[in-house]
Structure 1
Amino acid sequence: MAHSWDPTQYLAFGDERGRPFLDLTARIGATSPSLVVDLGAGPATLTALLAERWPDAEVLAVDSSPHMLERARGVTGVRVEQADLRTWRAGRPVDVLVTNAALQWVPGHLALLPHLLEQVAHGGWLALQVPGNFEEPSHAIRRELAAQEPYAPHLADIDDPSSHDAEDYLRVLQQERCEVDAWETTYLHVLHGEDPVFDWVSGTGARPTLEALPADLRTRFAEEFKRRLREAYPDHGHGVVLPFRRVFAVAHRV
């Protein structure tokens, strides 16, 4: 079941969501690329950092969401293109291809990596980052609730994100004759507000679930979800700590 994106909700935690992007792109060794592509760029606020780093490059933000791209069109130095990352093809070889927090929405995306590498020029770079926190309470509670009545009949076909371990990405990319740097990091995000973990997940992983429910059930689901999240992530007076594992891989095509 397709869902839509709200760039305002997504950017509510812009600093926290931006840290993995910075850690990822810091490992890219390109010096003077001609074409830089951010695949699954969302509102392109982070794509703008690529334009700043390589001001002489053509920088392209690709996303399937018209709502995200509407925001992206206002970003200086970035051209936008609407496309599905599963079928997107570059018009010419890409020197730097970044996909940040997008592949987790593509089932079986390990099999997509060779196609993505085909878009990268020899000597170019592919850099990816995906969340690796899907067994954390923020996701486990959502799945548990979604499997219960009266919600389950409405949620059978929703998009459900998933990812792999760093070694899995490393092995696939190595098989494509790339030099690969793969790693993982767990960030401890300190969040503030009445229901900050709910606010976080409702902009990303829980959004398809909430959108798929009728309005009356959505309100009921959200209130129970909030209650359980408050129990799982208590505020001890200094904010709510949200551990968030991220998985990274940077491949140099040689």
Structure 2
Amino acid sequence: MTMRLFGKLVFLLTKERMEYRGDFILAVIAQIINYIGDYLIIWLFIRKFDTLAGWTWPEIALLYSLGLFTYALGASFSFVQMRDLENQVKNGTFDSILIKPVNPYLYIVCRGFNLGYLAHVAISGSVLIWALYELNLYLSWYEFMYLFLCIIGGAMIQAGFMSVIGAMSFIWVRTGFLFTLFFKFKEFISYPLPVFGTFIQVLLTFLVPFAFINFYPAAFLLSKGTALLSSWAMWFVPLMGPVCYVLGYRLWMLSVNKYQGAGG
């Protein structure tokens, strides 16, 4: 699949979605209100204790916004697509994709592009900019580049893990419980890693590297100490995204190659 065809499919889907502008706008507003509530809950919690593991409210707002922003970017190309694979495999409708002369992964990813995550981008992006201003973080060019690469990397980590879950659809068919587990793990990164015990810190760093989505990038920008990674290791943080995504993609393609149909 060429980038031109990829862009064409995304454009057609966007055009199709915008045929119902009222429904789209209401959905965006509802999502924004929902996440404003989440920010409010965290703010009230921090207000009671002043700081959390040495992190102030603007610092945690930066942390949470990085997690939400990267999730929106990654999930727009992976969540609905991988979640729906369960039913497609179960009902046999996925087989029709395999006869198309395109890469099945790229076809599913761009055909299911979700504009609804615009709400996530709007609220998290706004709070992220506010947090940087409130913390007086005037980023140098290399810090800005580091933040940009970490955002891309964080999105790729989440898309990679969701691709792994999608790959399991070809093996186990039912994968809803894996998405539940994914979001349970993601809840941990709403707060600074030192809040949790050593086991959770090791788990989210080396086994399920969700801490690379927002904690380590934020800790580097805020000059916060990290127990498990030295300061020089911060420059390797953006690399975790491409690694996770490539592994997720490879597993997905390997699983498709072993797929034998709805009855297989």
TM-score bracket relative to the smaller structure: under 0.3
Which structure has greater strand proportion? 1
TM-score with structure 1 setting the length: 0.25
* Larger Rg belongs to: 2
Query: Higher RCO, 1 or 2 (CA under 8 Å, sep at least 6)?
Result: 2
TM-score, reference length from structure 2: 0.24
